[in-house]
Amino acid sequence: QKAQLIVDEDFEIGQVNDRLFGSFVEHLGRCVYTGLYEPGHPTADANGFRRDVIDLVRELGATTIRYPGGNFVSGYRWEDGVGPKGGRPRRLDEAWHSTETNQFGLHEMATWLDTVGGNELMEAVNLGTRGLEDALDLLEYANIPGGTALSEARRANGADEPFNIRMWCLGNEMDGPWQMGHKSAEDYGTLAASVARGMRQIDPDLELVVCGSSAHNMPTFGSWEETVLTKAYDLVDFVSCHAYYEPHDGDMASFLASGVDMDGFIKDVAALIAASKARLKSKHDVYISFDEWNVWYQSAEASRNPEGIGNWPVAPHLLEDVYSVADAVVFGDLMITLLKNADHVRSASLAQLVNVIAPIMTEPGGPAWRQTTFYPFSTVARLAKGGTVLEPKLESTQVETGQYGSVDTVDSVAVRGADGSISVFAVNRSLDEAAEFEVSLPESLSDLGSRTLTASTLHDDDIHTRNTLESQNRVVPKTNTTAKFDPARRTVNITLPPVSWTAIH
Ligand code: AHR
């Protein structure tokens, strides 16, 4: 297998928005409780925040955090999670058949984000069991400096300054029949438009995300976006996309090409946005917030809700997928896909952050460690933040897949860093063959003789290898010693092992 990428600085796709490195904290399983928050843990600070997790989140490079759900938000009463902890009610969380203790809420989330280092909060409002009035109450509570009942309640609860939340999700996956308060596109579009209008009466400059389809293959995909945007186009700034991938019937070749589906999904939604803009003769631009994406073994036992009228556990082990090398390679390809579409995708949230389909795992009372998927995320965040995505001029041999036909063996994208460096991210989707990959560097790149090359690859001969509590560092990226830099030819040549993900800098 072989491929060539021509890096051309004259053709830019767009700036790498910091929000592309967002993540997601839902009240689900152990994401919050014994994930972020575990009073009494040996590393916990005075707020009960696990410092070992905070260190890993910093290393991961996650930015904006979407909160508090997910399916959870469609039954959530935000006011349960504020005020003295002793007075907060325990409630049923119907979405995940669990008990929500409400010991962690909006104030704790905002404080945790400040502790991590000024990360942005992206808040979702409940448009499942609730509507306009509660969304306005939450906005008043969070963002009004003072002088009203709800803003003064926030101040009395310890936050003198408003949270100043800029980005708001108008509900979650309202197209999904599993969603509490699921609605037709007509009904949701009407509600989302009225909530957006009301929220803008409080603050016209909010950035609002309207629910798009919860998957590319939803039966309502396309018509949902069209109906909702007809009602809400000028009132919102983003349409959400959600996508999760897993192998079906052991078809690893198709699984490794999941990026092809994500790319098509983004292009389809971008076309639907453009069509709405044209039809409505609007001057306003709407972008994509890809606010849930990951590999997720949805059909596996780990994703089964607890059952039984008397069985509502607190922080159960739910969706605790343990990711393999192959999963991380697919994950890395999804990151390449988000970068390649940086002109349309201005925000993205890796679902989720800790324990629940997450790059970071914890043991209650014990250690925290990095899953295989941690590495593509932290590497891209480190090298691409603040940079500019260059249009990929890529030629590659092909591999056959059952689901997508023949697809490029190598998928790749280049990013010019703010410091003038070039980073190239590349995936080899072949199950059994290495790929010889050549990167041609642009004429415009100066001082080639004095530049240095580093290349690291995530790969294991056993593609099912995982990091676990017992073996936390079994999978780590390793220096790719095949990388050769030829300043005279302006090329980098490297061998990409089968089922691998590589970062070249
Ligand atoms: O991230 C897990 C779940 O996936 C979210 O709660 C929901 O929005 C999606 O279906």
* CATH code, domain carrying 377: 3.20.20.80
328 and 401 belong to one structural domain? no
Cβ neighbour number for residue 270 with a 10 Å cutoff: 19
459 and 441 co-located in one domain: yes
User: Are the CB atoms for 275 and 229 separated by under 8 Å?
Assistant: no
Residue 264 lies in a domain: yes
**Mind listing the pLDDT tens digit for each residue in 75-127?**
999 999 999 999 999 999 999 999 999 999 999 999 999 999 979 999 999 99
Q: How far apart are CA 308 and CA 355, in angstroms?
A: 24
Residues 6+ apart with CB under 8 A from 145: 151, 161, 162
Indicate which residue's Cα is closest to atom 4 of ligand 1.
Answer: 70
Q: Please determine, for residue 468, whether its predicted confidence score (pLDDT) is greater than 90.
A: yes
User: d(Cα 255, Cα 252) in Å, to the nearest integer?
Assistant: 5
pLDDT in tens, 144-184: 999 999 999 999 999 999 999 999 999 999 999 999 999 99
Distance CA 21, CA 120 (A): 11
Inside any domain, residue 4: no
pLDDT digits 0-9 by tens, 347-372 = 999 999 999 999 999 999 999 999 99
116/61 Cα distance (integer angstroms) = 10
Q: What CA–CA distance (Å, rounded) separates 222 from 199? A: 26
Share of the chain above pLDDT 90, in %: 95
Reported as a single tens digit per residue, the pLDDT across 316-328 is 999 999 999 999 9
Name the maximum alpha-carbon separation found in the chain. 72
Q: Are 189 and 53 in the same domain?
A: yes
What is the per-residue pLDDT for 9?
Answer: 87
Last residue of a domain, one of 353, 385, 417: 385
Ligand 1 contact, 351 CB (< 6 A) = yes
CB 115 within 8 A of CB 44: no
471 lies in some domain: yes
The tens digit of pLDDT for each residue in 280-299 reads 999 999 999 999 999 999 98
Strand 405-408 versus strand 207-210 pairing type:
unpaired
Same domain, yes or no: 254 and 403: no
Q: Could you tell me if 469 and 433 lie in one domain? A: yes
DSSP per residue, 96-121: TTEEE--SS-HHHHHHHHHHHTSPPE
Question: 432 by DSSP, 3-state: which?
Answer: coil
Boundary residue ending a domain (354, 385, 416): 385
Predicted confidence at residue 445, as pLDDT, reads 83
User: In whole angstroms, how far apart are CA 484 and each of 166, 436, 439?
Assistant: 45, 12, 10
How much is the pLDDT for 448?
83
At 392 the pLDDT is 87
Question: What CA–CA distance (Å, rounded) separates 326 from 374?
Answer: 13
pLDDT for residue 300: 86
Range of 61's domain? 17-385
User: What does the block give as tokens for 495?
Assistant: 């061998």
Ligand 1 atom with the smallest distance to the CA of 28 is 6
Kindly name the residue from 38, 79, 123, 173 that is annotated as catalytic.
173
Task: Please check whether residue 9 lies inside any domain of the structure.
Answer: no
How much is the pLDDT for 299? 85
Ligand 1: residue of 23, 26, 125, 170 to mutate (most ligand atoms within 8 A of CB) is 26
Based on the fold, state whether residues 233 and 331 are members of the same structural domain: yes
Residue 451 has pLDDT above 90, yes or no: no
Judge whether 8 lies within some domain: no
Spatial distance between the Cα atoms of 113 and 109, rounded to a whole number of angstroms: 6
Q: Which residues contact 113 (CB under 8 A, 6 or more apart)?
A: 65, 119, 120, 121
Question: Considering the domain boundaries, does residue 2 fall inside one?
Answer: no
Q: Cβ(355) to ligand 1 under 6 A?
A: no
Nearest Cα residue to 391 out of 343, 335, 454, 346: 343
Q: Are residues 322 and 466 in the same domain?
A: no
Residue 31 has pLDDT above 90, yes or no: yes
Give how far the C-alpha of residue 378 lies from the chain's centroid of Cα atoms, to the nearest Å.
Answer: 13
Contacts of 306 (CB under 8 A, 6+ apart): 97, 98, 312, 313, 316
Same-domain check for residues 68 and 177: yes
- Residue at 277 is within a domain: yes
Q: Same structural domain for residues 273 and 337?
A: yes
Average pLDDT estimate for 300-315: 92
**Higher per-residue pLDDT: 443 or 476:** 476
**Beta strand residue intervals within 334-490, DSSP E:** 345-351, 360-362, 368-370, 388-390, 393-396, 398-401, 405-408, 410-416, 422-428, 435-440, 455-458, 478-479, 484-486
User: What was the pLDDT predicted at 302?
Assistant: 82
Contacts of 262 (CB under 8 A, 6+ apart): 216, 243, 245, 293, 334, 337, 338
Within 8 A by CB and 6+ apart from 126, the residues are 73, 74, 75, 76, 77, 78, 134, 135, 171
Residue found under tokens 């689901």: 403
- Is 93 a pocket residue for ligand 1 (Cβ < 6 Å)? no
Average pLDDT over residues 244-251: 96
Domain check: are 351 and 297 in the same one?
yes
Is the domain of 428 the same as that of 378? Answer: no
Amino acid 444: pLDDT: 84
Question: How many domains would you assign to the chain?
Answer: 2
In a domain, 1, yes or no: no
Note if the bond before 247 is cis, omega within 30 degrees: no
pLDDT at 112 (0 to 100): 98
Q: Which two tokens stand for residue 160?
A: 């003198």
Which atom of ligand 1 is nearest the CA belonging to 351? 1
Q: What CATH number did the domain enclosing 482 receive?
A: 2.60.40.1180
Res 383 pLDDT > 90 = yes
Q: Looking at residue 118, what is its pLDDT?
A: 78
Are residue 381 and residue 399 in the same domain, yes or no?
no
Known catalytic residue at 292: yes
Q: Choose the final residue of a domain: 369, 385, 401.
A: 385
